Amino acid sequence: MQSSVDLASSVESAVGLHRVREPAGVLPQAAWRLDPDPRIGPDEVRVAVERLNLDAASFRQLRDAHRDDGDAIRAEVLRIITERGKMHNPVTGSGGMLIGTVDEVGPCSPLGLAPGDRIATLVSLTLTPLAVTDGLADWDGRSEQVPCRGHAILFARSVAAKLPDDLDPRLALAVLDVCGAPALTARVVSQHLRRDPDRPPTVAVIGGAGKSGSLSLAAARRSGAARTVGVVPTTVERDRLAAAGLADAVALADARDTVALARAVTTALGAPADITVVCVDVPGCEHGAVLATADGGTVIFFSMSTSFTAAALGAEGLAADVTMLIGNGYVPGHADYALQLVRDDPALRSLLAARLSAD
Amino acid sequence: MQSSVDLASSVESAVGLHRVREPAGVLPQAAWRLDPDPRIGPDEVRVAVERLNLDAASFRQLRDAHRDDGDAIRAEVLRIITERGKMHNPVTGSGGMLIGTVDEVGPCSPLGLAPGDRIATLVSLTLTPLAVTDGLADWDGRSEQVPCRGHAILFARSVAAKLPDDLDPRLALAVLDVCGAPALTARVVSQHLRRDPDRPPTVAVIGGAGKSGSLSLAAARRSGAARTVGVVPTTVERDRLAAAGLADAVALADARDTVALARAVTTALGAPADITVVCVDVPGCEHGAVLATADGGTVIFFSMSTSFTAAALGAEGLAADVTMLIGNGYVPGHADYALQLVRDDPALRSLLAARLSAD
């Protein structure tokens, strides 16, 4: 009994329950409002914020809702942070991550950080207490990357990565933001290989030219995929991904068009994919992903636009025996793995850098 | 190329694309409106409907929205079916299943059915064309089980089970409605055992006294779980589940209370669970389920109330290395497996029968 009580009370402090203002008793991510008080507890860390990186689904929603009006988007983000004590888009339920410099470290923090460390948070902004002091004055409201002055709080069970010296910080931040995707893709490819060593799996990545998509393609190949296809929605992305050479094939399809998506993957691989990785931030891709996947295969949903019921009922309705994974942003070693992929592959690095410049 | 084009066109007909009225190009489950024309195509089957079994999340929403007013609930269900050509709750996104007698079978149907067969559909009502002819006159609007006259259409890739002669049809229907849960639970327990034969996994079932929960507990035990705990929200359910002896331990907790849920599981098992199965139809259980699960463990989400983003961001925010599965209602052999569990275990059968009477 003792151990479980210890577990519960240490969990309560480690996950930041004391920062929850309303409703009481829920974890910070589920809370409507957090307390961003700059005074830290013994196991907390305070970070001086430099830049927020909004989740793609969140930024898209804000842009759509405010018709690309940068001033209105900035005002809305500022309003959310002020009201909620965190950057947690109430419509999409998603957040993003941040970059900053460690300011103060509590004596009991287990994160291994020291004042002056430049870090990126690898836990979502939806559970990170945050206060902004500059009114986001340096942001034009037209990019996911938000220059920002203020502070954020890390808990004992937060995850943060020190920024590498050898990569552009903006590139590193973009990679770290989605580093769970390549790590989980690599794990699932390895699991399929262990189960059937004589038949390496084929892998389809929907949204293969995006950040998480291109990293997932690189991870699938490195982990031993037999053949990979990246599916993209435009000829520009098709040409860009083909030029980078990250996938064995590149196919053009609107991922929301169920039959078109299944046909594109099946044509490129000669059969449905053993593993399908969904990295596009638009709703309605669940059925196409299921239909593009072979019986006994696996679909990994990384898009925050994924509908749980659409996936569950879609697979059932298609009598599809596929394993469907909710993409977990945390896999041990994910940050180092993703950064190493970028270091090792100049084409991947160029693709990601080009995306950053275009943003 | 030929094979993929064949695949795509056969899929288009097999999954019922020709029954989609709006919007065009999506699968029947994603459609707003289906065409329930009683004239069947060559690979279709028409069923004379006897009874609908509404999905628990859907019925709960209807009951809450109409404050337990049976007449209003009946009118709303009738309105949905008439407007959408299927029983697809637009709020919850979920449906249910039906029972009926095969009326006509197209010459190319692969389902192995014949006129006169009494069957239950194992694909969701959200993708099953349905027309009602009796105005649901025999239903009081106060139960998930809806007596109903009308017809439904099955596609080539639908799944239907002939009703067994040796079980009460209402019991069989209730079991078949959730038969994906015990089958997937059994598969995940077996996978853990194969990976680590010397350490059988522990299993926690949240909502262990419900239909899918009690079946999942029975499946976990039969598949070789080391120890099982059923978590329930009330003392009535606790006593009922304890009396049935389906779990090694029974614990009382509100699954929406993250810390209470984690503490209940950890106390009952002496440690977090290797496998956690979420079978409660209320929102907000994602974080508790993740926190109740050991590193390297698996959470299976069967509840249609599951939020994809809450699960994904919750696990990330807790730095929890857990595999999260979207409960797929289709696992080959799931109907026979679930019915056999019920035949083999009188206590399970009694528990399910008692739940049916209480409904």
Inform me whether the C-beta atom of residue B30 falls under 8 Å from chain A C-beta atoms: yes
Number of Cβ within a 10 Å radius of residue A342: 24
**Degrees to nearest 5, angle at CA A297 with A323 and B5:** 125
Q: Quickly tell me which residue has 């009738």 as its tokens.
A: B78
Residues of A in contact with B307 (CB under 8 A): 93, 308
User: Long-range CB contacts (< 8 A, 24+ apart) of A216-219?
Assistant: A216/A181, A216/A182, A216/A185, A216/A277, A216/A279, A216/A302, A217/A246, A217/A247, A218/A182, A218/A246, A218/A341, A218/A345, A218/A348, A219/A181, A219/A182, A219/A183, A219/A185, A219/A186, A219/A189, A219/A337, A219/A341
Between residues B323 and A17, the one the model is more confident about: B323
Portion 69-88 of A in contact with B at CB < 8 A: none
Which chain A residues are Cβ-neighbours of B124 within 8 angstroms? 313, 316-317
Distance CA B279, CA B299 (A): 11
- Is B191 an interface residue toward A (CB < 8 Å)? no
Question: Mind listing the pLDDT tens digit for each residue in A283-299?
Answer: 999 999 999 999 999 99
B318 confidence band (pLDDT: 50, 70, 90): confident
DSSP string of A213-237?
HHHHHHHHHHTT-SEEEEEESSHHH
Q: Which of B86, B309, B323, B331 is the mutation pick for testing A, counting most A CBs within 10 A? A: B309
How is the beta sheet containing A130-132 ordered, strand by strand? A130-132, A145-154, A45-54, A96-105, A118-121, A160-162
A interface test, pick of B326, B331, B337 with most A CB neighbours within 10 Å: B326
Question: Taking residues A131-152, what's their average pLDDT?
Answer: 96
Contact B93 A309 (CB under 8 A): yes
Distance from CA of B348 to the nearest CA of A (A): 25
Q: Does residue B272 contact residue B294 with C-beta atoms inside 8 Å?
A: yes
**Out of B83-87, B157-161, B241-245, which region has the weakest mean confidence (pLDDT)?**
B157-161
- What part of B 195-214 touches A (C-beta under 8 Å)? none
Q: Report the SS3 class of residue A347.
A: helix
Ranges A164-173, B93-102, B111-120: which has the least confidence: A164-173
More confident residue, A173 or B80: B80
CB-based contact, A91 to chain B, within 8 Å: no
Query: What stretches of chain A adopt beta strand conformation (E)?
Result: 20-22, 33-34, 45-54, 96-105, 118-121, 130-132, 145-154, 160-162, 202-206, 227-232, 249-252, 273-278, 293-301, 323-326
Q: Is A351 helix (H, G, I), strand (E, B) or coil?
A: helix
pLDDT digits (tens, 9 = 90+) for B202-216: 999 999 999 999 999
> Is B304 in contact with A309 (Cβ distance < 8 A)?
yes
Contact call for A318 and B124, based on CB within 8 A: no
How far is the CA of B256 from the CAs of A10, A232, B283, B286, B342, in angstroms?
Answer: 19, 39, 7, 8, 29
pLDDT tens digits for A3-23? 444 554 566 778 898 999 998
Q: Cβ contacts (< 8 Å) between B58 and chain A: which residues?
A: none
Does A65 contact chain B (CB < 8 Å)?
no
Q: Which of A316, A325, A330, A331 to mutate against chain B (most B CBs within 10 Å)?
A: A316
Note the pTM of the prediction, 2 decimals.
0.84
Cα separation, A59 vs A61, whole angstroms: 5
Query: In the 8-state DSSP scheme, what is residue B125?
Result: G
pLDDT bin (cut points 50, 70, 90) of residue A267 is: very high
Predicted local distance difference test score (pLDDT) of residue A357: 81
Q: What is the DSSP string of B38-99?
A: SSPPTT-EEEEEEEEEE-HHHHHHHHHHTTT-HHHHHHHHHHHHHHHSS---TTT---EEEE
CA dist., res. B315 & res. A337, Å (int)? 19
State what percent of residues in chain B have pLDDT above 70.
96
For the record, the structure tokens of A77 come out as: 């983000």
Question: Is A124 an 8 Å CB contact of chain B?
Answer: yes
d(C-alpha A228, C-alpha A269), whole Å: 8
Query: What phi and psi, each to the nearest 5 degrees, are found at residue A228?
Result: -125, 150
B29 contacts in A (CB within 8 Å)? Answer: 287, 310, 313-314, 317
Q: Nearest Cβ partner of A29 from B1, B259, B314? A: B314
For A25, the closest chain B residue by CA position comes to B257
Q: Give the B window 10-29 contacts with A, CB below 8 Å.
A: 11-12, 15, 17, 25-29
B320–A327: do the CB atoms touch at under 8 Å?
no
Which residues in chain B are closer than 8 Å to A124, comparing Cβ atoms? 313, 316-317
Segment B252-301, tens digit of pLDDT: 999 999 889 999 999 999 999 999 999 998 899 999 999 999 999 999 99
- Mind telling me how many Å the CA of A30 is from chain B's nearest CA? 7
Is the confidence at residue B11, as pLDDT, over 70? no
Q: How far is CA A34 from CA A22, A88, B262, in A?
A: 7, 10, 22
Note which residues in 141-170 of chain A have CB less than 8 A from chain B: 157-159
* Site from A123, A308, A323 to mutate, B interface, most B CB atoms within 10 angstroms: A308
Measured in whole angstroms, how far is the alpha carbon of residue B81 from the centre of its chain? 20
Query: Which residues in chain A have their CB less than 8 angstroms from residue B309's CB?
Result: 92-94, 304
**Are residues A320 and B304, on separate chains, in Cβ contact within 8 Å?**
no
A308: nearest CB among B1, B322, B326: B326
Q: Which of residues 103-122 of B touch A (CB under 8 A)?
A: 122
Give the closest of A272, A309, A325 to B325, CB-based. Answer: A325
**B35 min Cα distance to partner chain A (Å):** 17
**Residue numbers in B near A332 (CB within 8 A):** 321
- What does the alpha-carbon distance between residue A307 and residue B211 come to, in Å, rounded to a whole number? 24
Decide: A128 and A153 in contact? Cβ < 8 Å.
Answer: yes
